Structure 1
Amino acid sequence: MTRRGWLPYLLVIVTAAVSLAGLAVRPATGVSGGTADYVIVAGAAGLRWDDLDPQRTPTLWQEASRGAAGWLSVRSAHHTTCPADGWLTLGAGNFAVWDPDRVTGACAPMSPTLERPDGIGANLPQLASVVRDNADNQPYGAVPGAMAESVRCTVAVGTGAAVAAARPFGRVDRYQPTLPAQPGDLFSRCALSLVDLGTITGSGTARQAQVAAADALLARVLAARPERSLMVIAGVADTDTTARLHVAIAEGPGWDNGWLTSAGTGREGYLQLVDLAPTVLTALGRPAPEGLFSGRTATVADGRAASPADSLLGVHDANERAGAQLGVAGPFFLGLAVVQLLIFLLVVPLMMRARRHAGPTGPTPAAKWLVRGTEVVLIAAGLSIPAALLADAIPWWRADRPGIVFAALTFALIAVGTAAVRLSPLYKRTLWPLGVVAAVALGVVGLDLLTGAELQLNGVAGYSAIEGSRYAGVGSVGLGVLVAGALLVAGWLAQRVRRPWRPVLVVLAGGVTVLLAGSPYLGADPIGAVAVTAGVCAAAAISTGGWLTFPRFAWAAVAGVVVTAGIAATDMHRPELERGSVGRFLAALGDGTAGPAIQRAATSSAHNLDSPLTLLALGGALMIAFAQFSAWGGLNRVFGLHPALRAGLAGVTVTVLVAGVLQGAAFTVAGAAAAVAVPMLVLTTLRVLEHAADRTRPEGETDGPGGPGLVRIPRDRDPAVS
C-alpha cells in the first residue's frame, strides 16, 4: 500500500466527488396546492393555535380540520411585528415596516389615515412615505403594495386589510370598513379579497371574546365566498414585544388536510408571513413581481392528523416550546460565556506553573489534585453545548419552571459525560479527552441532522422558528459545534497514521461534514457547506506538518474553488423558487441586484455582535493566543508534537470566519466552535507542559539514576501520538 503513492490522492478526489454528488440530490417537495378563481385572505393579528377550540371557535376549528395548516412566523423588518407591520409585510411579500420606532410593551392601536373620496375605494396618504422609508432605510428591497399591483383589482374589508391591499401610491380599489350585513357578490368583484378579522390581545375571558368575534366574522365571510375560491386564514402579527408563532390555514380545492410548508422554511408545518403573497398569486395563476418577493409559494405535505388537537395543540404545540426557548437561550449562553472566561483566567497561573524548568529555580508545580480538577472542569466546559442539545430531547418546556428544569437536565448530562471521559481507562493518554469530547460534539449534531434536526428546531442550542432565521438543517451554533468536532476528530485520528494518509482522513471527515451541512435532505445550508469546504482544504494542506507553503496553498485553493463552484452551479441550475442562498445571491449578483443581500448580511452581522457567543469567540481567541505565543503557553509544543491537530484548528478557524461573513452570523459560529475546542486545547496544553522539561539519554546509554534511556521514534511517526 505504501508503494502506491497515488492512492491517497485518488481517495481525496473520490471523497470530494461523492460530497458534490450528495449535495446535488434533492428530496421530493410538497404537492402544490390547487388553483382558484378567487382568493380570500382573512387575517387576525395575534391569533394563535391555542386560541382555537371546537366549541368556542367552531368555524376556525372546521377550517383547520379541512384544510392545510401550519405555524406561521410573522417576522417583518421590525424587531416587533405589530399589526400595521404584519399587514404591510403581507401586502409587500417582503419584510417591511410601517413605523420604525422602537416598541415597548403592547403595540399601539393601528390607526392609519383612510380617505374615501368616491365611496368605492379608499386612499392611504401615508403609504407613499412608508414606501420611501422602506426603500431608503431597510435592506430588504420591500415595496409595500407589490401584491396588489400584481392583480387587476382588490377588495379590502377593515383597516388592516386596507394596508395590505393598497397599491404603492396608496389607492385601495374597493374598500368596506366593516363586512356588510348582506355581502352579496362582494368577494367575487375582484380576484383577491382581504378581510381584517380584528386584533386578538390580552388573556382570559376578554381574549376568548375577541377570538369568538373573529370566528363569527369568519363564518359570515365563508357564507359569502364564491365558488372555486381559496380561503387563507392567518394570524398576521404579534400584539406586543413577546414574539410567537401564529395560525396559518389554507382551505380550498387542492388544499386538503396536510401540513403547510414552503421552500423558504424547508420544514413541514412551518410558513413565513412573506410566503403568503406568492402563494396567493400562484393560486390565482398570476406571476410574482420579479425581484420583489422574499417568500416562496406554499405547498402541502401529507402526514398531519386532521384534528388540530392531535397535530397542533397540547404536546404538539410548537409555539410553547419556541417561546420557552427564547426565554432560556440568552441566559444559557451568557452563563456559559462567563463561566468559560473565568475558567481561562484561573488556568493561566496553572499554565505558568506547569512548565517545569531544567534548572533548580523553576516554579513549584501545582498540586496534582488541582491540575486534575481543572482538567475535569475543562472537560465539562467543552461538553456544555452538546449537553444542551441533548437536553432538548426531553420536553422541559412543559414544566412550570422550564428554565430550572432545563438547567438541571443540562448539568446532569454534563456530569454524566464528564464522568465517562474521566473514568475511561485511556484517560491518561495525552489526546484522549480532546478526541472524545470532539467526537461527542460531532456525534450529537450529526445524529440530530440525520434525524431531522429536531433538537435544533426551537432548541436552546439551536434556532427559533419565531425569529424566522432558520427552520431546518444546521444552525449557526450547530455549525460551529459540528465543524469543531469534525476537524478536531480528524486531527486526532490523522495523528495516529502515516503522513501520506493524513490528508485522506481530513478530507474524509470534511466530506462527511459538508454533506451534513449542505445536503438538501438535511436542511440545505449551502453557505455552511462552502465554509466547511474552505476549512477542510486548509486543514488538509498542512495536516502532514510544516507550514502553509505556496504549493500547498495553491492546491488547497484550487480544490476549494472547484468544490465551491460545483455547489454554486448545482444551486443555479435549480428552478428559481427552489434555489438556496448561494444560488439566489449569484443570480442577484448577475443581474446587479445583490446590494440588498449584502446589506442584509452586514445588518445581520451587526445585530449578532451583541450575542454572548461573541464573548466566547473573543475570549477563546485571546486564550489560544496566550497559550501559543506566551513564554508559558506551550501550544506551539502541542502543535509541534501533533501537527495534524494544528491542521484541525486551522480548518476550524477558516470555516468559522468564512461562515460568519457569508451568513451574516458575525461571531456566532466562532463562539460555538470555541466553546468546544478551546477548553480541550487548553487541557491538552496543560498535559504537554507537564513534560516540557523531560530529557532523553544519549543513544546507547543505559537507564540509571539520571533517568530513563532513549526512546527511539520511527521517522514516519510523531512523538507523543497517544
Structure 2
Amino acid sequence: MTEAAVRRRTGRLTRAVFAAGVVLVGVFAAGAPAGAADEPEDQAGGILLVGVPGLAWTDIDESNTPNMWDLAGSGASGSMSVRTIGSWTCPEAGWASLGAGERAGGLAPRDAQCAAQSQIPAPVESGGGWTVERYPGLVEANSAFNYGARLGSLSEAVGMYAEDQRVAAEEAEIAGEEVPPVRDGTCVAAIGNGAALAAADPEGNLTYWGADLERLPEAMNTCDVVIVDPGIIVGDSDGNAPDTATDYDAIGEDDTDVGTDETATPAPEDAGEIAPEPDPVRARAAAAADEAVGAVTEVMPEDWQLVVAGLADASAPSSLHPVLYSGYGVETGEATSATTGRAGYVQLVDLGPTALAAIGGDVPASMSGRPIDVLADEGRTAAEAVRAGTDETAASTAVAEVGWKFYAALAAAGSIAIGAAVWLLVGSAKWRRTCRSVCVFVAAVPLAGVAAGIPPWWRAGNAELVFWAIIVGVAGLVCALTWLPGLRSGPRPALLVAGATAGLIAIDQVSGATWPLHTPMGYTAQAGARFTGLGNYTSAVFAAAVILLMCLIPWRGRARYIGPVLLAVCAVVIVGAPTLGRDMGGIPTIAAAAVLACLKLWGRRLSIGAIAAACGAAAALFIIAGVLDYLRPEADQTHLGRFVGTVLEGSAGEILLRKAAAALGTIGSPLTWLCVAAVCGAIVIWKRRGPISSDVTAAAVIGLTTAAVIGFAINDSGVAVPAFTITVGFGLLAVAVGPKPENAARTHSDDPTVEPATPAAP
C-alpha cells in the first residue's frame, strides 16, 4: 500500500471519529429539554421519612395493613433497591445509607439473619443534645469500605441550607432589598434508635431525638425533616427464615448500573395448588408497622410530605422493598428517580435527596442519590400499585436465583465451544459439522439471554424451567437457521448470529431498554447497578457482535471504508448516549476496538502510532460524552456525567480504586476459566495454522481482543466482560474462517473473509 493511500484511509478514519463526536453532541444535546431544571417547585412544609426494615410488597394488603394500602392508592409508589455494600443490606447499614445519600455499611457484623445489625443502641444525651456514641467507629468502617459515603450528609446539607437562607436574608436586608422568606426549623430530627443514625451530622450529633412516636409532634415543631424508626422489623419466623448457611455474596450477588408491565396481572395459580399459609410472625410485624404509619399520618400537617420505605432487608437474600410517597404536592402515580431512569423503581440512596428537595435544599456532591420523581397516573389504584410491586419483586428474585447458574453454565458451554472451534480450524474433517453447530449454538446463548426478557417467564409456575427452555429454544432456533440454504457457507452463519444479536440489543435500547433487566444478561433490580441502558455484560456482547459485522461483511469498493465506519459510529451512539446505552466504560472500549479493527481491515500495519491514535480517539469520545452529560441538568445526568463531577471534585480516585478492586475480585469465578480456555485455544490455533495472514481475520481478532482487554481494565465486572466477548466472538470467527462443512477439503474461496482450509498437522 502506498503512503498516500495510507494517509487517505487515516483521514477517513479521523473524519469518522469526528463524525461520531458530532453525533454524540447532538444526542446529548437532545437528551434534556431546555429549561427543565429551572421550573419552580412549591415547597412542602416538611417531610417525614418512616423506615420499616424488611417490609415487602407482599406484606401490604387491604385488611392487615389498611394505612399503607391507602397510601399506595393515594400517592406515588415504587419498588426500591436497598443495595449498599454486599448482596443484602441489614438495618444498621440501611439507616446509615439514608443519612449519607450514598451506599454505606454497618459497624456490626452482617450475618444472614441481620441479628447483629438489628440491635442499634440509643443515642446518649449530653450537653443539651444527643450523640451517637458508636459513630466514630461507623465512620472509620465506611472509610475502609471505600464507597465514598460521608455519613451525616443529610443533616449537614440541611444545616448548610439553613445557613444559606440566613445569609441571603441578611444580605438582602443590608442592601435594602426585599428579604426572602426563611424557613423555620431547618434541621433534621429523629424518632427511634435507627433514625438517629440517619439524622446525625458527620460528628454523630443530633439536633433532636425522641425514643418513641409520642415525641413526634414535638419533633415536627422543632425540625422540618423528621426521620422515624418505629422499632419494627418485618421478618420471617425461625421456621420460615432463609437458609443461614448460604454465602450469598459468594454466588455472584456481590459487586464484581422492560420495566415490567405494571398493570398486568400475574398468571393465575392452578386450581389445585395449595397456597402457603402466611407467616403469622411476619403478618403481626407488618400490622404493627401499619399502626405506626397510621399514628404518623394522624398528626402530620396537611402541607407535609410522607415517605414510607422498607429501607433494609431483614435477612439474606436481598429483595426489592416498597416505597410509598404521598402528601403535599405528590400526585398519584409511579415513583422513579434519576438514578434508575425507570418507572416504578428507586434506590435507598434517593431517600435523603428526596427529603432535601421537599424543603428546597440542594443535593450535595457527596450524595449519589437523586430526589424521587412522580410519573403521574390519576387512575392508579392501591391494588394496581401492590400488584406491580409484587410482580417487580418476583422478577428480580427469579433473576437472582437463575443468574449464577446461567454464568456457570455459560462458562462450561463456552469452554466446550472453544474446544470445538479449535477442532474446526486445526482438526480433521470428522466432527466438523458438530463442532460448527456447537460454536453457533453457544454464541447465540447471549442473544437468547436478552430475548428471555421479552416474555414474563418469572410468572410461570416453574419459572426456572421456563427460563432455560427459552434459552435453549432461542439458541437452538438460531443454530438451525444457519443450516438453511444460502446461510450455511462462509461467514454467513456468523453474520446471522452477530447481526441478530446486535440488532436485538439495539432495538431494546431504542425502545426503552426493557428486556435485560429481567434476565442474567442485565442486572437484577435489587442489585441497583443499572436499571436502564447497557449493562457491562450486554455491552460486551454488543461490542463483539458489532466488531464481527464490521470485519466479516464482504464490503465492496468504497463500502469497505464507509460501511465499517457507519457501524462503529452507530454502535458508539447506542452505547454512550444518555437516552440509550449510557455505558461509561463501553464508550472507550468499543471506540478503540473499532478504530484498530478498521485500520487493520484497510491494510494498515498497527504501529505504536496507530495504537496511540486509537486510544486517543477513544479517550476523546469518552471525554466529550462525559463533559456533555455533566453540562446537562443535574437531575438528567447519567453516571457518566456524575463521574465527571467526581473528577472535578477530586473524589474519582476512590471510585476507580473500588472498581479496580471489584474487577480483580472476579478473578477465580467460573467465567475466568472460559478466558483461560480461550487463551489456550488461541495458542493452539496459532501454532497449528501459523500466523494469521488475512486482513479480515486479523482485524476481527484485533478488535475482539481490544474490546476484551479494555473492557476488563475499566469495568468493575472484571473477567465477565472478556468472557462474554469470547462467548460471541471466538466460535463465530472460527465458523467464518473455517472450511465449509459440506466441503472440508476446499482449498480456495472467492469470498475474501474465508481463508483456505489447512490440513491438520500430523
Smaller-chain TM-score range?
0.7 to 0.9
AA partner of residue 212 (structure 2) = T
* Alpha-carbon distance in structure 2 between the residues aligned to 1:94 and 1:657: 30
One-letter amino acid of the counterpart of residue 492, structure 2: W
* Separation of aligned partners in 2, 1:619 and 1:518: 31
The alpha-carbon distance between structure 1 residues 305 and 537, as it changes in their structure 2 partners (threshold 3 A), is farther
Pairwise CA distance, 1:508: 0.7
Displacement after TM superposition at 1:321 (Å): 0.4
How far does residue 74 in structure 1 lie from its aligned partner after superposition?
0.6
Match of 2:728 among 656, 668, 676: 676
* Counterpart secondary structure, 2:314: coil
Contact 2:322 2:389 survives alignment (8 Å):
no
Among 686, 700, 712, the residue aligned to 1:660: 712
CA RMSD in angstroms, aligned pairs only: 3.1
- Which residue of 1 is the match for residue 206 of structure 2? 172
Is the Cα–Cα contact under 8 Å of residues 491 and 737 in structure 2 kept in the other structure? no
Alignment partner, residue 220 of structure 2: 187
Report what 2:308 is aligned to.
Answer: 233
1:394 aligns with 2:399: no
Does 2:526 match 1:466? Answer: yes
What does residue 579 of structure 2 align with?
521
C-alpha contact (below 8 Å) 2:46/2:305 kept by paired residues: yes
**Structure 2 residue matching 1:479: 3-state secondary structure:** helix
Report % sequence identity.
27
* 1:83 to 2:91 alignment: yes
Matching residue of 1:700: none
**1:539-554 equivalent positions in 2, closer than 5 A:** 539-549=597-607, 552-553=610-611
Q: 2-side partners of 1:113 and 1:81: how far apart?
A: 18
The answer to whether the 8 A contact 1:114-1:123 is kept is no
Amino acid at match of 2:325: A
Is the contact between residue 148 and residue 154 of structure 1 (CA under 8 Å) also seen in structure 2?
yes
SS for the counterpart of 2:461 is: coil
> Are residues 599 and 347 of structure 1, via their aligned partners in 2, closer, same or farther at CA, if it must alter by over 3 Å?
closer
* Secondary structure in structure 2 of the residue aligned to 1:521: coil
Change (3 A) 1:20 1:674: farther
TM-score w.r.t. structure 2 length?
0.82
Which one-letter code corresponds to 1:263 in the other structure?
A
| Partner residue of 1:302 out of 373, 376, 379 | 376
Tell me the SS of whatever aligns to 2:526: coil
Please say if 1:279 is aligned against 2:354. Answer: yes
Name which structure has the greater RCO, CA cutoff 8 Å, separation 6+. Answer: 2
* Aligned partner (choices 326, 334, 337) of residue 251 of structure 1: 326
Partner of residue 263 from structure 1, selected from 338, 342, 349? 338
2:555 to 496, 504, 509: 496
Contact 2:73 2:383 in 1 (8 A): no
Is the partner of 1:687 in helix, strand or coil?
coil
SS at 1:259 equivalent: strand
Bigger drift between 89-98 and 566-575 goes to 566-575
Shift of the 535–410 alpha-carbon distance from structure 1 to 2, 3 Å rule, reads same
Select the residue among 507, 512, 515 that pairs with 1:447.
507
Structure 1 stretch displaced more, 200-209 or 79-88 = 200-209
Tell me which amino acid in the other structure corresponds to 2:445: S
Inter-partner Cα distance in structure 2 for 1:655 and 1:218 = 52
**SS of structure 2 residue aligned to 1:313:** helix
SS in structure 2 opposite 1:148? helix
Query: What residue identity is the alignment partner of 2:395?
Result: R
Q: Is the 8 A contact 1:78 1:100 kept in 2?
A: no
> How is 1:550-589 mapped onto 2 (pairs within 5 angstroms)?
552-553=610-611, 555-557=613-615, 559-589=617-647
Match of 2:481 among 420, 424, 429: 420
1 CA distance for matches of 2:661 and 2:614? 31
Distance 1:399 1:610 in 2: 34
* Local SS of the residue matching 1:71: strand
What SS is found at the alignment partner of 1:193?
strand
Task: Render the CA deviation track for 1:461-488: whole Å, top value 9, x for unaligned.
Answer: 2111111111101111110111111110
| 1:482 and 2:556 correspond | no
Q: Does 2:439 match 1:378?
A: yes
Worse-superposed segment, 656-665 or 238-247: 656-665
Local SS of the residue matching 2:80: strand
Give the secondary-structure state (helix, strand or coil) at the position aligned to 2:516.
Answer: coil
Confirm or deny: 8 A CA contact 1:457 1:463 kept in the other structure: yes
Displacement after TM superposition at 1:259 (Å): 2.1
Distance 1:477 1:438, change over 3 A: same
Change (3 A) 1:349 1:567: closer
Distance 1:221 1:84 in 2: 22
- Extract unaligned runs of 5+ from structure 1: 355-365, 697-710
- Would you say the 8 A contact 2:107–2:137 is kept in 1? no
Give the secondary-structure state (helix, strand or coil) at the position aligned to 2:482. helix
Matched position secondary structure for 1:35: coil
**SS state of the match for residue 142, structure 1?**
coil
Aligned equivalents of 2:729, 2:30: Cα separation in 1: 32
Q: What residue is the counterpart of 1:127 in the other structure? A: 135
Kept in 2: contact 1:488–1:649 (CA 8 A): no
CA offset digits 1:510-549 (Å, max 9, x no partner): 1111121112222422432232222221122211124213
Aligned: 1:150 with 2:150: no
2:145 equivalent to 1:138: yes
Compare 71-80 and 125-134 and name the one that shifted more: 71-80
Paired with 2:561 and 2:40, the residues of 1 have a C-alpha distance of 45
TM-score, length-scaled by structure 1: 0.87
- What does the per-residue CA deviation read over 1:558-612, in whole Å, with 9 as the maximum and x for residues that have no partner? 5434433422331232244543334333333334322211222123213433543
Q: Deviations over 1:280-300 (max 9, x none)?
A: 1121122334x3212122222
Q: Secondary structure at the match of 1:150?
A: helix
Secondary structure class of the residue paired with 2:515: coil
Q: Does the CA contact (< 8 Å) of 2:90 and 2:314 recur in 1?
A: yes
For 1:315-334, list aligned pairs within 5 A: 317-334=391-408
Is the 2:491–2:754 Cα contact (8 Å) retained in structure 1? no
Matched to 2:482, the amino acid is V
Q: 1:179 to 1:676 in 2, by over 3 A?
A: same
Residue type of the alignment partner of 2:331: D
Report SS of the residue matched to 1:251.
strand
Deviations 1:318-368 (A, max 9, x none): 1100000001011011012112213433554564433xxxxxxxxxxx43x
Range 17-26 or range 82-91, more displaced: 17-26
CA drift of 1:46 comes to: 0.8
> Does structure 2 retain, via aligned residues, the 8 Å contact 1:149–1:167?
yes
| Aligned twin of 2:650 | 592
Residue in structure 2 matched with residue 705 of structure 1 by the alignment: none
Shift of 1:145: 1.9
Is the contact made by 1:43 and 1:195 (CA closer than 8 Å) also made in structure 2?
yes
Structure 2 residues without counterparts, runs of 5 or longer: 159-185, 237-277, 758-762
**Is 2:393 the counterpart of 1:339?**
no
Secondary structure of the residue aligned to 2:346 is strand
Structure 1 pair 179–504 and aligned structure 2 pair: CA distance change class (3 A): same
How far apart in 2 are the matches of 1:73 and 1:255?
21
Q: Could you say what secondary structure the match of 1:471 adopts?
A: coil
The alignment partner of 1:300 has SS state of strand
Partner of 1:293 in structure 2? 367
